[in-house]
Amino acid sequence: MPAQMTPGVKKLFSEANLAHLATLMKDGSPQVTPVWVDLDGERILVNTAEGRVKPRNVRRDPRVAISIAGSTGYPSAFVRGRVVKVTNDGAEAHIDKMAKKYLGQDEYPWAQPGDRRVILVIEPEYVTGMMTD
């Protein structure tokens, strides 16, 4: 059953706060990457590119964990969930949206020829946090 995010947790994800996404390697060990995040209702969106470790890991094992914190380390939130969808629909426009949110730029500046963007759609199953409000 999906977990609900409080308004404070949603605020963290809606602001330009860097998150850390943990996926599971083939041997079960964790792999953690700093990521830009977005929300689509109660689901968390992470934009990445084909060929990277994240999409490969979540296609094999959809379990993930995310931590996110404000600029001082607080407030913070911790999410465990599952990737319920990996899609390239709208992924190119989405990475530009993330560049605007995080960098103030209209286009993603580090695009490489041949990159194929994908969005990981994460459904939270457990959410907790340390909120100041």
12 pLDDT band, cuts 50/70/90, is very high
Average pLDDT taken over every residue of the chain: 95
Superfamily of domain 7-130: Electron Transport, Fmn-binding Protein; Chain A (2.30.110.10)
Helix (H, G, I), strand (E, B) or coil at 122: strand
Q: What is the pLDDT of residues 26-48, one digit of tens each?
A: 999 999 999 999 999 999 999 99
**Residue spans per domain, the chain:** 7-130
Could you report the per-residue pLDDT of 46-78, keeping only the tens digit for each? 999 999 999 999 999 999 999 999 988 889 999
Residues 120/48, Cβ–Cβ less than 8 Å: yes
Q: What is the pLDDT, as a whole number, of residue 130?
A: 87
* Alpha carbon separation from 102 to 19, 62, 114, 128 (Å, rounded): 12, 26, 23, 24
Say what the pTM is: 0.95
